[in-house]
């Protein structure tokens, strides 16, 4: 499919912080280790290789084999799990919440960016193996963020009483969602595939984590994707020393907060504020933060309390009950994976960039940080409309009033630009002002005031003429508006709202294939794909 690219900054949908990072502004160099270029991966491999033991690899691979027990997956994925035991194997990781039916489109872009980067690295460094990893956020507790997806502008929602880590939620009630979803997508080969996929994932699996694993595995296992559930006792056993240090020293708070303040001093926004202890406690139906008060550790909102000695002992006995929050989860990931690079969205990278000093104090190599691919997909009909309206891909990203005004000026049969008149007016007043200087100051001021008044009058007339032409060209304005609204639902990026099923109905099984062939994670620009 045809594809064009646009610099992220030119889309105006990405923060100055992320755009400055992509531009490798010197002011941000202190907040990351290596910028993700193909050449820099060699040094990252060397640094990680000597800091990740064979014993860790065995624990990781064994845990993943258990997680995949009973899961029908590809030979490519099974081989990747096996290769994780080898000292020359490394991972590239992305993470995502357990959004219902993948949530917004960028779920696909994250994972395909990760898969494609691994394939690119294998070509560049053939003596090493690279495994794409999707880290499921099974310990998250923000159910309201994940219990829905959007289809044709409608919100399809799973209504359920929620509490605790979302990965353990039962899939009860999703049969009702399936009924509504099936009615919305209608009939046909592609619709039937989507219905069967939803049913196989959410009706035939008991928990949200199992359903999400099935779904991601069905979509991406042919490319060797390995799915990791961090809510695992064996994996958390490797993290025990870091949990203890958090409880005793509040290391993350002491290191992350000053970095966040430095970012604020440089004019950026602090993405996350660390707590004094950045751990949650997990028990059945509960995920609550751990706090320390008067030398006593307790689980907020419960009667659970420990002395220092007791809580450290409990960590040794039941590490699975201690859950890292958004500050500590990146460290947990990097402790248990031989990881080189994390691929995420702008918001994710923004908080990762607050963590470098924390990693240094924890003596764990800081991974490279890569912005995931972002994509706008156009159907054949949409691409044809864009062509008929003589629009460029760049113009699609304009604010709607700017887009309409620009196009009306272009297609109007009269000139709606009064710049020539402004220039004549300024020249006339320039002569008058020279004459006024020979009189008194009050007359000169009156000339200047009259110039300002008449220039403003031209502005008003120009706006009225533009408004009149917009009414005259209302048909074109409506078509422009409808097209942009379809491509940018809710005035936002398509990838942040639309579910993949909407595009699958249009493209079928070619959707993921085309995305896989097109996405280049190291390009560093926004992609526009046309059918």
Residues 6+ apart with CB under 8 A from 480: 389, 391, 403, 404, 407
Which pLDDT tens digit goes with each residue over 28-82?
Answer: 999 999 999 999 999 999 999 988 999 999 999 999 999 999 999 999 999 999 9
With 0-12 / 13-18 / 19 or more C-beta atoms within 10 angstroms meaning exposed / middle / buried, residue 292 is middle
- Beta strand 154-157 with 148-151 is antiparallel
Higher-scoring residue by pLDDT: 401, 266: 266
The CA-based angle 408-409-413, given to 5 degrees, is 90
Can you give the pLDDT at residue 324? 97
Say whether pLDDT at 102 is over 90: yes
CB of 527 within 8 A of CB of 3? yes
Return the number of other C-beta atoms located less than 10 Å from residue 311's C-beta: 22
Question: How far is residue 45's CA from residue 91's CA, in Å, rounded to a whole number?
Answer: 10
Can you give the pLDDT at residue 459? 66
Question: How far is residue 324's CA from residue 274's CA, in Å, rounded to a whole number?
Answer: 12
Higher-scoring residue by pLDDT: 349, 417: 349
Can you give the pLDDT at residue 408? 67
Question: How far is residue 489's CA from residue 479's CA, in Å, rounded to a whole number?
Answer: 15
Helix/strand/coil (H/E/C) assignment for every residue in 294-337? CCEEEECCCCCEECHHHHHHHHHHCHHHEEECCCCHHHHHHHHC
Can you give the pLDDT at residue 421? 62
Cα torsion 56, 349, 376, 474 to 10°: value is: 160
Look up tokens 């031989």; give the residue.
Answer: 338
How far, CA to CA in Å, does 119 sit from each of 61, 74, 252?
A: 21, 17, 34
In the chain, what percentage of residues exceed pLDDT 70? 89
Residues 6+ apart with CB under 8 A from 494: 105, 375, 376, 377, 487, 488
Report, as an integer, the average pLDDT of 158-181: 94
Mean pLDDT (the chain, rounded): 91
Can you give the pLDDT at residue 275? 95
Say whether pLDDT at 413 is over 50: no
Question: How big is the chain, counted in residues?
Answer: 531
The CA-based angle 39-55-229, given to 5 degrees, is 75
Q: Where does residue 490 fall: left (phi above 0), alpha (psi -120 to 50 degrees), or beta otherwise?
A: left
Residues facing 4 on adjacent strands: 528
pLDDT band at 360 (very low <50, low <70, confident <90, very high): very high
Q: What does the DSSP 8-state code read for residue 104?
A: B
Residues facing 299 on adjacent strands: 290
Which pLDDT tens digit goes with each residue over 229-266?
Answer: 999 999 999 999 999 999 999 999 999 999 999 999 99
How far, CA to CA in Å, does 118 sit from each of 107, 223, 277, 375, 377?
A: 17, 10, 35, 20, 24
State phi, psi for 387 to the nearest 5 degrees. -65, -45
Report, as an integer, the average pLDDT of 419-440: 66
Q: The tokens of 359 are what?
A: 């990693």
Say whether pLDDT at 205 is over 70: yes
Residues 6+ apart with CB under 8 A from 469: 408, 412, 414, 416
pLDDT band at 426 (very low <50, low <70, confident <90, very high): low
Q: Can you say whether the dihedral through the CA atoms of 57, 116, 373, 37 is positive or negative? A: positive
pLDDT band at 448 (very low <50, low <70, confident <90, very high): confident
Can you give the pLDDT at residue 464? 66
Say whether pLDDT at 451 is over 80: no
- E strands, 68-153, where? 89-96, 129-136, 148-151
> What global pTM score does this model have?
0.89
The closest of 103, 25, 48 to 353, measured between CA atoms, is: 25
Number of H helices, E strands in the chain: 24, 15
Report, as an integer, the average pLDDT of 267-292: 93
């Amino acid at each position: 499919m045809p594809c064009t690219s646009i610099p992220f900054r030119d889309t105006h949908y990405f923060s100055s912080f992320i755009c400055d990072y992509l531009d490798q502004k010197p002011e941000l160099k202190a907040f990351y280790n290596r910028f993700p270029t193909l050449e820099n991966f060699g040094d990252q491999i060397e640094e990680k290789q000597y800091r990740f033991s064979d014993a860790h690899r065995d624990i990781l691979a064994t845990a993943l084999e258990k997680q995949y027990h009973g899961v029908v997956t590809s030979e490519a994925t099974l081989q990747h799990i096996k290769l994780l035991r080898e000292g020359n194997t490394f991972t590239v990781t992305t993470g995502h919440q357990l959004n219902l039916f993948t949530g917004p489109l960028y779920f696909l872009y994250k994972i395909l960016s990760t898969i494609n980067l691994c394939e690119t690295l294998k070509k560049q460094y053939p003596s090493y193996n690279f495994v794409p990893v999707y880290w499921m956020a099974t310990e998250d507790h923000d159910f309201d963020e994940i219990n829905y997806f959007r289809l044709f502008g409608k919100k399809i929602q799973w209504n359920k009483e929620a509490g605790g880590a979302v990965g353990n939620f039962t899939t009860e009630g999703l049969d009702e969602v399936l009924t509504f979803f099936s009615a919305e997508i209608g009939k046909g080969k592609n619709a039937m595939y989507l219905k069967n996929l939803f049913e196989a994932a959410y009706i035939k699996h008991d928990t949200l984590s199992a359903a999400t694993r099935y779904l991601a595995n069905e979509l991406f296992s042919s490319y060797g994707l390995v799915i990791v559930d961090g809510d695992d006792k064996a994996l958390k056993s490797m993290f025990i020393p870091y949990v203890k240090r958090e409880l005793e020293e509040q290391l993350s708070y002491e290191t992350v907060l000053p970095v966040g303040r430095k970012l604020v001093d440089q004019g950026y926004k602090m993405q996350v504020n660390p707590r004094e202890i950045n751990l949650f406690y997990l028990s059945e139906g509960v995920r609550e933060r751990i706090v320390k008060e008067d030398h006593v550790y307790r689980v907020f909102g419960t009667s659970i309390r420990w002395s220092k000695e007791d809580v450290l002992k409990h960590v040794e006995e039941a590490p699975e009950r201690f859950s890292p929050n958004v500050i500590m989860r990146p460290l947990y990931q990097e402790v248990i994976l031989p990881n080189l690079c994390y691929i995420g969205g702008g918001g994710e990278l923004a908080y990762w960039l607050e963590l470098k000093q924390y990693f240094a104090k924890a003596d764990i190599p800081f991974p490279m940080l890569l912005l995931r691919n972002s994509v706008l997909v156009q159907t054949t009909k949409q691409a044809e409309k864009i062509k008929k309206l003589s629009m460029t891909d760049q113009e699609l990203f304009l604010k709607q009033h700017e887009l309409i005004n620009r196009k009306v000026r272009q297609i109007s049969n009269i000139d709606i630009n009064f710049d020539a008149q402004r220039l004549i007016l300024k020249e006339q007043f320039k002569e008058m002002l020279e004459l006024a200087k020979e009189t008194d100051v009050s007359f000169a001021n009156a000339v200047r005031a009259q110039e300002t008044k008449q220039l403003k009058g031209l502005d008003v007339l120009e706006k009225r003429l533009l408004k009149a032409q917009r009414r005259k060209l209302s048909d074109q304005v409506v078509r422009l508006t409808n097209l942009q609204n379809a491509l940018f639902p809710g005035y936002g990026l398509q990838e942040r709202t639309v579910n993949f099923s909407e595009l699958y109905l249009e493209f079928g099984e070619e959707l993921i294939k085309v995305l896989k062939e097109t996405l280049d994670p190291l390009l560093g620009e926004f992609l526009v794909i046309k059918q």
